[in-house]
Amino acid sequence: MSDPLAVIAELPGVPEAVTDARKAVDRLYGHRVLRRKSPEVSARSALRGARASAALDGVDVPLEAIPEVTDPVVQGALRVSAELGRLGPTWRAAPRQVLARLHTLAAAGLTEHLGRPRGAAEAPDLLGLGAAPGPEETVARVDGLVELVTGTSKAPALVLAAIVHAELAVLRPFGSADGVVARAAERLTLVEFGLDPKSLAAVELGHLELGAAYPESLKAYLSGTPDGVAVWVRHCASAVTLGVREATAICEAMQRG
């Protein structure tokens, strides 16, 4: 199959979900606050995204408490968020290098094996997805993921981002902080492949707000069926739309002063 992403992009309900998310992003980008303050909106969105990503990994703290929190999961999510803007150009050319860097940032304080693929058969299962694939299968599937990121698919950025996120989340290639890495890679893909070039949408917060639908949609993806994969991509589209809503709220608050 020459373009598997294009096939996924045509699964039931996916074109409509992708279009709705694209329209939401376009409306956000028309907000007058962004004419002068898009970097500040992006920074606030990144902070909210980091907090949400840590919460999805089990450490949920109030946004206002973030500056004082020393928990390594939260600190790792913050480091990843701060670094994303510098990793963009490398993501398309050398995805493995970027993933290793993301893990090094996310997992400091959690493991000594920073940036290195896990050699053990077992990996933490924070989302209740079941056993992770073994190291050999994981390496093979990461190779396939690298081919997708560096390839020439014409599928929408949201579809690629969804698959990047799902594969990293279910493979758990590092054995620690894999959820933070997966969600960061999704956001990075949305930015670098053109859906959200200013990194405004707090997509991680969208996943958090969708609650149990997040792990359940990943389980649907794990089924490997067309319907299951479509469920996951539609879930990611909803997360983007909710992330846009949060960014819009940031814009409105800044406009009010």
Q: What is the pLDDT of residues 125-137, one digit of tens each?
A: 999 999 999 999 9
Per-residue model confidence (pLDDT) at position 257: 76
The confidence band for 2, taking pLDDT boundaries of 50, 70 and 90, is confident
Listed in sequence order, the DSSP H helices in the chain are 4-8, 14-29, 34-56, 72-93, 95-106, 135-149, 157-171, 178-192, 203-209, 213-222, 226-256
Q: Topology of 4-256 in CATH?
A: Fic-like fold (1.10.3290)
- CA Rg value for the chain: 17
The rounded distance, in Å, linking the Cα atoms of 44 and 27 is 19
103 secondary structure, DSSP code: H
What lies within 8 Å, CB to CB, of 253 at 6+ separation is none
The confidence band for 251, taking pLDDT boundaries of 50, 70 and 90, is very high
- Dump pLDDT digits (tens) for 91-131: 999 999 999 999 999 999 999 999 999 999 899 999 999 99
Pair of tokens at residue 186: 């999704």
Residues 55-72 have a mean pLDDT of: 95
Q: How high does pLDDT run on average in the chain?
A: 96
Per-residue model confidence (pLDDT) at position 67: 86
The confidence band for 254, taking pLDDT boundaries of 50, 70 and 90, is very high
Residue whose tokens read 């939260």:
74
- Dump pLDDT digits (tens) for 137-174: 999 999 999 999 999 999 999 999 999 999 999 999 99
Pair of tokens at residue 152: 């020439």
Q: What is the largest CA-CA distance in the chain?
A: 54
Question: 207, 214, 140: which is closest to 171 by C-alpha?
Answer: 140
The rounded distance, in Å, linking the Cα atoms of 219 and 62 is 28
CB atoms within 10 A of CB 115: 16
Q: How far is CA 235 from CA 13, 197, 207, 217, 221, in A?
A: 11, 21, 8, 7, 11
Considering the chain, what percentage of its residues have pLDDT values greater than 70? 100
Pair of tokens at residue 93: 């050319």
Per-residue model confidence (pLDDT) at position 4: 95
Contact 176, 120 (CB under 8 A): no
What lies within 8 Å, CB to CB, of 62 at 6+ separation is none
What lies within 8 Å, CB to CB, of 212 at 6+ separation is none
Contact 107, 176 (CB under 8 A): yes
> The pTM is what?
0.97
Residues 237-251 have a mean pLDDT of: 98
Considering the chain, what percentage of its residues have pLDDT values greater than 90? 96
Work out whether the CA dihedral 216, 107, 200, 167 comes out positive or negative.
negative
Residue whose tokens read 């002063």:
257
Q: Which amino acid belongs to residue 75?
A: Q
Per-residue model confidence (pLDDT) at position 1: 55
